Amino acid sequence: MAPKRAPQCPSCRRAVLLREENPCFPFCSDRCKAIDLGRWLGGEYRIPVVNAEDDDGGAGSWSDQRNGSAPPEAPLTDA
């Protein structure tokens, strides 16, 4: 028996005002709109980034490469 016009915020599931009174429709607020957008841009797309984190071991050796590539001791001994 729920009224047909009772949209829910896709972000927080709270009741959302109708489009006429709610510039953030179909979200309840501008914040939820941003949250949902962030979920798409940050959350969903972050899944492959977690995979990249598995590659962090390689990133560690990359840091080692950086250290050996530029030894800061040479100018230090000069001074």
Query: Which residue in 12, 17, 24, 26 binds Zn ion (CB under 5 A)?
Result: 12
Report, in Å, the least distance between residue 6 CB and Zn ion: 14
Give, in order, the Cα–Cα distances in Å from 56 to each of 29, 41, 46, 60, 62. Answer: 38, 22, 15, 6, 9
Tokens representing 18 are 């109708």
Q: Is residue 11 a contact point for Zn ion (CB under 5 A)? A: yes
Distance of alpha carbon 71 from alpha carbon 69, whole angstroms? 6
Q: Is residue 33 a contact point for Zn ion (CB under 5 A)? A: no
Report, in Å, the least distance between residue 71 CB and Zn ion: 54
Residues that bind Zn ion (CB under 5 A): 9, 11-12, 28, 32
